[in-house]
Amino acid sequence: MVKTKEKIKIIIADDHPLFRRGLKNAFADTPDIEVVDEAENGDELLKKVSSAKYNIALVDVAMPGKHGLDLLKQLREDHPKLPILVLTVYPEEHYAVRFFKAGASGFITKESSTDQIYAAVRKVASGGKYASPLITEKLAFDFGKTDRPLHEGLSDREHQVFLMLAEGESPTEIGKKLSLSVKTISTHRSRILEKMQMKKNSELIHYAISHRLLQ
């Protein structure tokens, strides 16, 4: 008797129930991929991957609770063998490299076709890396360039604070969400403005919008 190949077991983490359902239905059409669990925020995802085994986590990095780079780094630290495929609306040209550095195994946008998502899941689940040709080239050749966009010069924490400021959040609100003091956030803001060669938040907002950095 021929042994049937085990299916790739996926947990989908996304805060939109309709999107999760759509993905689950899409994977139901494949013979080798099965959605076995779901999470609607970063904290729930961390809890579930601690108590169950999955072949891959398909993660939206813009969820409530722990999200973005903090979520990726926590997953990588706690579960170094769990492949993480980032599925997001964020434009890959501005985010993929940073997410790969934080521990993602693959990066694909929500605009991708189902066939592209299938291919990404299979590649990442088998231990490979998945990225578009554009990002593969950027990863290989772009690190030494000096003409990169200003926001790429920000540290991960500065990048996080920059986006929150660009979304109109106050230092007090940001401090509460990141469990940091208002003074620390203000220091980050000063460094961000200096690195971005700007003087006020309105310039940060305009930059973020013009570079399609906001969700």
**Residue 132 located in a structural domain:** yes
For residues 126 and 111, give the distance between their C-alpha atoms in angstroms, rounded to a whole number. 23
Q: Please say if the pLDDT value at position 55 is more than 90.
A: yes
Q: Are residues 106 and 67 in the same domain?
A: yes
For the chain, give the mean pLDDT. 86
**Residue 215 located in a structural domain:** no
- Domain range for 64: 8-141
**Residue 194 located in a structural domain:** yes
Q: Are residues 116 and 193 in the same domain?
A: no
Q: For residue 82, what is the domain's CATH number?
A: 3.40.50.2300
Contact 86, 117 (CB under 8 A): no
> How many C-alpha atoms does 60 have within 13 Å on its Cβ side?
22
Q: Are residues 83 and 178 in the same domain?
A: no
Q: Please say if the pLDDT value at position 4 is more than 60.
A: no
Q: Are residues 29 and 122 in the same domain?
A: yes
The domain boundary residue, chosen from 141, 172, 199: 141
Q: Please say if the pLDDT value at position 3 is more than 50.
A: no
**Residue 30 located in a structural domain:** yes
Q: Are residues 121 and 192 in the same domain?
A: no
Q: Are residues 154 and 128 in the same domain?
A: no
Q: Are residues 38 and 96 in the same domain?
A: yes
**Residue 12 located in a structural domain:** yes
Q: Are residues 81 and 178 in the same domain?
A: no
The two structure tokens encoding residue 192? 């961000």
Q: Are residues 77 and 137 in the same domain?
A: yes
Contact 21, 69 (CB under 8 A): no
**Residue 1 located in a structural domain:** no
Q: How high is the pLDDT of residue 187? A: 93
* Percentage of the chain exceeding pLDDT 90: 53
Domains held by the chain: number? 2
Query: Residues with Cβ < 8 Å from 123, sequence gap 6 or more?
Result: 106, 129, 130
Q: What is the pLDDT of residues 78-100, one digit of tens each?
A: 999 999 999 888 777 677 778 88
Q: Are residues 60 and 134 in the same domain?
A: yes
The domain boundary residue, chosen from 116, 141, 166: 141
The model's confidence at residue 2, banded by pLDDT at 50, 70 and 90, is very low
Q: Are residues 35 and 101 in the same domain?
A: yes
The domain boundary residue, chosen from 141, 162, 178: 141
Q: Are residues 158 and 126 in the same domain?
A: no
Closest to 182 measured CA to CA, from 193, 174, 192, 191: 174
**Residue 3 located in a structural domain:** no
